[in-house]
Amino acid sequence: MKPSSVRLFAVLIACTFALQARATFLPGTVPVAPGQAVVPGLVTQGTPAGTFVASQIIPEPSFTLTSAVFLNPTGTLDFYYQLTNGARGSTISSLLIQSFDNAQTAVGYRFDTFPPFVPGAAIPTLGSRTSDGTDITLNFSLAAGFTGNLLVISTDATTLTNGRAFVTNPDPFGPIPTFAIATLGTVPDTSETLMLLATGLVGVFAARFLAQRRVEITR
């Protein structure tokens, strides 16, 4: 293989790993892919939430859902949710949020708080995502009269729209207005496109390299 080809091959490999290593999620959150279930992670204490974008408080007959969106320092959006159960409410076991398709996501929770949120006392035990990537469900146990910990879905998305949430207490209740990402259909984002291109080019150069090696060995 010519020196110029070797250099280009090395650059492509470096670009591929750099794209794979690109970090957009809040420290401590755990990535959750479509069709996957994970244990949400604790966000590192004191991690900046970023720039406030929007918030809303939706009171329902037996609970209240507070949600907010922050633009984190990486330039992507993080979605925060907090439930307060009413004094006479049934135990709340899950929060389902739509929609997050065509985004990379990670789930977690925080002990530290900031407006419009307050300290809570119920951490999520499981975070799951539907196979099409649209719905994310966070499971926990929030008794009557208590407020849960701050839940977060960290994403690589940069656009915001209205979303829908459903609360289970013990039956599904909703939809409740909240925030989610603005979906882009089936078009992959720039990083995914570059990843596919880099991977393909690496494969081409690897094939050329192996072919030339076989020629050199047979001489």
Angle at 195 between CA 193 and CA 198, to 5 degrees: 110
Exposure of 183 by Cβ count < 10 A (0-12 exposed, 13-18 middle, 19+ buried)?
middle
pLDDT at 215 over 70: no
Q: What is the pLDDT of residues 122-145, one digit of tens each?
A: 999 999 999 999 999 999 999 999
Percent of the chain residues topping a pLDDT of 70: 73
Q: Read off the pLDDT of each residue in 148-176 and give the average, rounded to a whole number.
A: 94
For 51-95, the pLDDT digits (tens) are 999 999 999 999 999 999 999 988 999 999 999 999 999 999 999
- Under 8 Å between Cβ of 95 and 152: no
Q: List, in sequence order, every beta strand (DSSP E) within the chain.
A: 30-31, 37-38, 41-42, 51-59, 63-71, 77-85, 92-98, 105-110, 126-129, 135-142, 150-155, 160-168, 172-181
Confidence band of 184 (pLDDT split at 50, 70, 90): low
What is the reported pLDDT for 201?
Answer: 40
Q: In the structure, what pLDDT confidence band is assigned to residue 8 with cuts at 50, 70 and 90?
A: very low
pTM: 0.74
